[in-house]
Amino acid sequence: MDLTTDVVSLTRVLCDIESVSHHEQRIADDVEQALRGLDHLEVSRHGNSLVARTGLGRAERVVVAGHLDTVPLNDNLPVRDDGTYLHGLGTCDMKGGVAVALRLAATLPEPARDVTFCFYEAEEVDAVHNGLRKIAEATPELLAADFAVLMEPSDGVVEAGCQGTLRVDVVTRGERAHSARSWKGSNAIHAAADVLNRLTAYEPRRPVIDGLEYREGLNAVGIRGGVAGNVIPDEARVSVNFRFAPDRSLEQALDHVREVFDGYELEVTDADAGALPGLDRPAAADFVAAMGGEVNPKFGWTDVARFTTLGVPAVNYGPGDPMFAHKQDEHVPIAQLRSCEERMRAWLSGAQETTR
C-alpha cells in the first residue's frame, strides 16, 4: 500500500480490500506495514486497530480517526471509477475518509498540531466489538487530545454531535399448541401486531439544539418467531431501533421506549448515548470556521460520542454523502476526496491561522 499515491487511487485500493466487520485483519496488516515505514510516527497495534502519533511537542494535539470495516457486500465490489465518482462498498462509509487521513499521516511529517491518527475495527457492529472503544478502555492516554475529527462521511461539511442509538427486543408471549387445534393455544406472533401498530402510529420528535434540527426515529428493524410449520408459537420478538436526539440521555431514551411499549417485556440488545453539538467549544468553532463555516446535524451515531465521553470535543467531517452509506449504489465524489484532503492539510499545517 503506497500512501504517497493520490487520494483517489488510495481510496480505490482500500475499498478493494474486503473488510466486512470482524474480518479486518488483512486491511489492518496492510495499513500497519505502510504506517511503520514512516519515521515521524510512533505506531502501535491493538487487535485490528492502529494508532499512529506524532511527537513534536506542539501546544495542541488533535485526533484524526476512521474505521476500517464495512457493512456486508451487496454486489458492489470491486470499485468502479466513472471519472466523477468512485462507486463501491466503503467508498463513502468510510474508506474515502480513511484514505484522506492516511495521506495526511504519510505526507505531513511536521504539522502545526501534534496528530494522533487512529484506524480501528468493528464500528459497524455492536458497541462491545468497537475497536475505538477497546482502545479508550485499555489505554485512554493514547486518545488524549484537545480536539478530534471523525472522518465519517458528511458530504464535505462539518456535522456536529450525533444521535444516540438504542435497540431493544419487544417480546410477546403466548402458548404453544398444534396448529390444527389453534384455539388450544395463544399465538405470540399475532400478539406482535399491537407492537407494530404502536410503531406505525408513533410521531417522532424534531428538536432544535444549538440551531440544528435533529430527527428522531423509532422503527422495527427485525422480527423473529415460530417453532415449526404445525405449531402455534409461544414467543415472538420485534427488534426496535430508537435513534434519539442528543438532548436525551441514554436513560431517558430507555424510559421513553418503555413508555411507548408499556405492558410489554423489553430486552436491551445494544445502546450508545449521543453527543451534543458542542459548537460553543473554541476548538469546534475554530474547526468549523476553517472548513468553511457550514455545519449540519449528524443523524447517525458515530464515535464522536466516544470522544465526548473522554472529554475530547469532536465533530464529523469527511467525503461522501451519508445518505448513500450502506446502500448498494454507495459512491463518493472524486472532487470531494481531494477537497477534504486539501482543507484538512491546510488546517493541520496551520495555514488557516496564517491567512485569517
Q: What is the tens place of the pLDDT at every residue in 235-251?
A: 999 999 999 999 999 99
DSSP code of 319? S
Q: Is the peptide bond before 204 cis (omega within 30 degrees of 0)?
A: no
- Mean pLDDT for the stretch of residues 120-144: 94
Whether domain 7-162+275-355 has CATH 3.40.630.10: yes
- Mean pLDDT for the stretch of residues 3-9: 96
Least confident of 76-80, 184-188, 303-307: 303-307
- Mean pLDDT for the stretch of residues 252-279: 95
Q: Three-class SS of residue 237?
A: strand
pLDDT score, position 350: 86
Number of CB atoms found within 10 A of residue 37's CB: 13
pLDDT in tens, 35-61: 999 999 999 999 999 999 999 999 999
- Mean pLDDT for the stretch of residues 250-269: 98
Q: Three-class SS of residue 254?
A: helix
- Band of residue 355 on the pLDDT scale cut at 50, 70, 90: very low
DSSP track, 125-178: S-GGG-HHHHHHHH-GGGG--SEEEE----TTSEEESB-EEEEEEEEEE-B-EE
Residues of the chain with CATH 3.30.70.360: 164-272
Say which CATH topology domain 164-272 has.
Alpha-Beta Plaits (3.30.70)
pLDDT score, position 25: 98
- Mean pLDDT for the stretch of residues 209-234: 96
Angle at 330 between CA 326 and CA 331, to 5 degrees: 145
Beta-strand (E) ranges in the chain?
A: 42-46, 49-53, 61-67, 80-81, 85-87, 114-120, 147-150, 158-160, 164-173, 177-178, 208-209, 212-213, 217-225, 231-232, 235-244, 265-272, 295-297, 314-316, 331-333
For the entire predicted model, the pTM comes to 0.84
Q: Is the peptide bond before 94 cis (omega within 30 degrees of 0)?
A: yes
Residues of the chain with CATH 3.40.630.10: 7-162+275-355
- Mean pLDDT for the stretch of residues 22-36: 98
pLDDT score, position 279: 84
Q: Which residues are catalytic?
A: 69, 123
Task: Copy the grid coordinates of residue 67.
Answer: 474505521
Contact indicator for 244, 274 with CB cutoff of 8 Å: yes
pLDDT score, position 283: 80
> Residue 256 carries which side chain, given as an amino acid letter?
H
